[in-house]
Structure 1
Amino acid sequence: MPAPGGADGGAGGHARRLLRRGDAPRGWDHGTDYVRRILSDVWGADVTVVEREFTLVGVNPALDAFTDAAAAMREDAERSAARVGGELAARRAA
Protein backbone atom coordinates (compact mmCIF):
# COMPACT_ATOMS: atom_id res chain seq x y z
CA MET A 1 0.00 0.00 0.00
CA PRO A 2 1.49 3.41 -0.93
CA ALA A 3 2.20 5.85 1.84
CA PRO A 4 -0.31 8.68 2.30
CA GLY A 5 0.60 11.62 0.12
CA GLY A 6 2.34 9.54 -2.49
CA ALA A 7 4.36 6.39 -3.01
CA ASP A 8 7.53 8.02 -1.73
CA GLY A 9 6.01 8.90 1.67
CA GLY A 10 7.38 12.46 1.41
CA ALA A 11 6.78 15.26 3.88
CA GLY A 12 3.16 15.70 2.83
CA GLY A 13 2.46 12.04 3.52
CA HIS A 14 4.23 12.27 6.87
CA ALA A 15 2.12 15.27 7.90
CA ARG A 16 -1.07 13.45 6.95
CA ARG A 17 -0.03 10.40 8.98
CA LEU A 18 0.65 12.63 12.00
CA LEU A 19 -2.75 14.22 11.66
CA ARG A 20 -4.40 10.83 11.62
CA ARG A 21 -2.48 9.59 14.64
CA GLY A 22 -2.76 12.71 16.79
CA ASP A 23 -6.17 14.10 16.00
CA ALA A 24 -9.37 12.40 17.05
CA PRO A 25 -11.55 11.49 14.08
CA ARG A 26 -14.47 13.82 13.41
CA GLY A 27 -17.28 13.00 15.78
CA TRP A 28 -14.96 11.67 18.50
CA ASP A 29 -14.88 15.01 20.30
CA HIS A 30 -15.96 13.84 23.74
CA GLY A 31 -19.67 14.48 23.65
CA THR A 32 -20.15 17.69 21.66
CA ASP A 33 -23.02 16.18 19.68
CA TYR A 34 -24.62 14.82 22.84
CA VAL A 35 -24.40 18.15 24.66
CA ARG A 36 -25.67 20.01 21.57
CA ARG A 37 -28.64 17.65 21.35
CA ILE A 38 -29.54 18.00 25.04
CA LEU A 39 -29.23 21.79 25.03
CA SER A 40 -31.07 22.23 21.74
CA ASP A 41 -33.63 19.42 21.53
CA VAL A 42 -34.38 18.88 25.21
CA TRP A 43 -34.00 22.37 26.66
CA GLY A 44 -34.85 24.31 23.48
CA ALA A 45 -31.68 26.43 23.59
CA ASP A 46 -30.32 28.21 20.54
CA VAL A 47 -26.89 26.54 20.34
CA THR A 48 -23.88 27.59 18.29
CA VAL A 49 -20.78 25.43 18.66
CA VAL A 50 -17.39 26.92 17.88
CA GLU A 51 -15.01 24.08 17.09
CA ARG A 52 -11.23 24.07 16.96
CA GLU A 53 -8.80 21.54 15.53
CA PHE A 54 -5.36 20.57 16.81
CA THR A 55 -6.24 20.75 20.49
CA LEU A 56 -3.58 18.14 21.27
CA VAL A 57 -0.70 20.33 20.06
CA GLY A 58 1.48 20.90 23.10
CA VAL A 59 0.26 17.63 24.62
CA ASN A 60 1.21 15.14 21.90
CA PRO A 61 4.89 15.64 20.93
CA ALA A 62 4.18 14.22 17.46
CA LEU A 63 2.20 17.39 16.73
CA ASP A 64 4.88 19.90 17.78
CA ALA A 65 5.50 20.86 14.14
CA PHE A 66 1.96 22.30 14.05
CA THR A 67 2.34 24.75 16.96
CA ASP A 68 1.97 27.90 14.81
CA ALA A 69 -1.02 26.55 12.89
CA ALA A 70 -2.68 25.46 16.13
CA ALA A 71 -2.15 28.91 17.66
CA ALA A 72 -3.79 30.54 14.63
CA MET A 73 -6.72 28.11 14.86
CA ARG A 74 -7.12 28.93 18.54
CA GLU A 75 -7.16 32.66 17.85
CA ASP A 76 -9.75 32.16 15.09
CA ALA A 77 -11.93 30.06 17.42
CA GLU A 78 -11.67 32.65 20.19
CA ARG A 79 -12.67 35.43 17.77
CA SER A 80 -15.61 33.32 16.57
CA ALA A 81 -16.71 32.62 20.14
CA ALA A 82 -16.51 36.34 21.00
CA ARG A 83 -18.55 37.21 17.89
CA VAL A 84 -21.20 34.59 18.69
CA GLY A 85 -21.33 35.77 22.30
CA GLY A 86 -21.75 39.36 21.16
CA GLU A 87 -24.58 38.37 18.82
CA LEU A 88 -26.29 36.50 21.64
CA ALA A 89 -25.93 39.48 23.99
CA ALA A 90 -27.37 41.79 21.33
CA ARG A 91 -30.37 39.50 20.79
CA ARG A 92 -31.05 39.28 24.53
CA ALA A 93 -30.77 43.06 24.90
CA ALA A 94 -33.28 43.70 22.10
Structure 2
Amino acid sequence: MRIDALVIRLPIKWQLLITSLCIGMMILFLALLIWYGFVLAASNWQRPMGVAGLSYGYITLALPVGALLMMLSLVRRLFTKGVIGSLVTDDDNVVEEAL
Protein backbone atom coordinates (compact mmCIF):
# COMPACT_ATOMS: atom_id res chain seq x y z
CA MET A 1 0.00 0.00 0.00
CA ARG A 2 1.35 3.38 -0.95
CA ILE A 3 0.09 6.70 0.32
CA ASP A 4 1.73 9.38 -1.76
CA ALA A 5 -0.47 12.45 -1.30
CA LEU A 6 2.52 14.55 -0.23
CA VAL A 7 5.25 12.90 -2.30
CA ILE A 8 3.39 13.29 -5.59
CA ARG A 9 3.34 17.07 -5.12
CA LEU A 10 7.14 17.27 -4.85
CA PRO A 11 9.47 17.82 -7.81
CA ILE A 12 10.43 14.64 -9.70
CA LYS A 13 13.97 14.78 -8.26
CA TRP A 14 12.61 14.53 -4.71
CA GLN A 15 10.10 11.86 -5.73
CA LEU A 16 12.94 9.73 -7.09
CA LEU A 17 14.99 10.24 -3.93
CA ILE A 18 12.17 9.38 -1.52
CA THR A 19 10.96 6.43 -3.59
CA SER A 20 14.51 5.08 -3.90
CA LEU A 21 14.97 5.38 -0.14
CA CYS A 22 11.71 3.50 0.49
CA ILE A 23 12.61 0.76 -2.00
CA GLY A 24 16.06 0.43 -0.41
CA MET A 25 14.51 0.01 3.04
CA MET A 26 12.05 -2.56 1.67
CA ILE A 27 14.87 -4.58 0.11
CA LEU A 28 16.89 -4.39 3.33
CA PHE A 29 13.89 -5.54 5.39
CA LEU A 30 13.19 -8.43 3.02
CA ALA A 31 16.87 -9.42 3.10
CA LEU A 32 16.72 -9.55 6.91
CA LEU A 33 13.58 -11.70 6.75
CA ILE A 34 15.31 -14.05 4.33
CA TRP A 35 18.49 -14.32 6.40
CA TYR A 36 16.89 -14.81 9.81
CA GLY A 37 14.07 -16.89 8.33
CA PHE A 38 16.50 -19.48 7.00
CA VAL A 39 18.30 -19.48 10.35
CA LEU A 40 14.95 -20.08 12.08
CA ALA A 41 14.04 -22.86 9.64
CA ALA A 42 17.40 -24.55 10.16
CA SER A 43 17.03 -24.40 13.93
CA ASN A 44 13.53 -25.94 13.76
CA TRP A 45 14.40 -28.71 11.34
CA GLN A 46 14.75 -31.41 14.04
CA ARG A 47 11.49 -30.40 15.76
CA PRO A 48 8.65 -32.79 14.81
CA MET A 49 5.21 -31.43 14.01
CA GLY A 50 2.61 -33.37 15.96
CA VAL A 51 1.64 -36.85 14.86
CA ALA A 52 2.34 -36.13 11.19
CA GLY A 53 6.02 -36.73 11.75
CA LEU A 54 7.00 -33.94 9.37
CA SER A 55 9.62 -31.40 10.30
CA TYR A 56 8.50 -28.05 11.66
CA GLY A 57 11.22 -26.59 9.43
CA TYR A 58 8.87 -26.89 6.45
CA ILE A 59 6.42 -24.53 8.16
CA THR A 60 9.08 -21.98 9.06
CA LEU A 61 10.42 -21.98 5.48
CA ALA A 62 7.31 -20.02 4.44
CA LEU A 63 8.78 -16.77 5.82
CA PRO A 64 12.13 -16.70 3.97
CA VAL A 65 10.74 -18.18 0.77
CA GLY A 66 7.88 -15.66 0.69
CA ALA A 67 10.27 -12.78 1.39
CA LEU A 68 12.59 -14.01 -1.37
CA LEU A 69 9.71 -14.11 -3.85
CA MET A 70 8.64 -10.60 -2.82
CA MET A 71 12.20 -9.33 -3.28
CA LEU A 72 12.45 -10.90 -6.74
CA SER A 73 9.13 -9.36 -7.70
CA LEU A 74 10.24 -5.92 -6.49
CA VAL A 75 13.55 -6.11 -8.35
CA ARG A 76 11.76 -7.28 -11.52
CA ARG A 77 9.35 -4.32 -11.28
CA LEU A 78 12.30 -1.96 -10.78
CA PHE A 79 13.85 -3.12 -14.05
CA THR A 80 10.61 -3.13 -16.04
CA LYS A 81 8.83 -0.01 -14.68
CA GLY A 82 11.60 2.13 -13.20
CA VAL A 83 11.87 3.60 -9.73
CA ILE A 84 8.68 5.70 -9.74
CA GLY A 85 6.52 3.13 -11.54
CA SER A 86 7.71 0.19 -9.47
CA LEU A 87 5.43 1.01 -6.54
CA VAL A 88 2.33 1.82 -8.61
CA THR A 89 -0.25 -0.95 -8.50
CA ASP A 90 -1.64 -2.65 -11.58
CA ASP A 91 -5.09 -3.00 -10.00
CA ASP A 92 -6.62 -0.08 -11.92
CA ASN A 93 -5.92 -1.77 -15.25
CA VAL A 94 -7.49 -5.02 -14.08
CA VAL A 95 -10.67 -3.32 -12.90
CA GLU A 96 -11.07 -1.33 -16.11
CA GLU A 97 -10.54 -4.44 -18.24
CA ALA A 98 -13.11 -6.37 -16.21
CA LEU A 99 -15.77 -3.71 -16.77
Give the structure-2-normalised TM-score.
0.30
Structure ID, larger Rg: 2
TM-score of the aligned structures, taking structure 1 as reference length: 0.31
Higher relative contact order (CA 8 A, sep 6+): 2
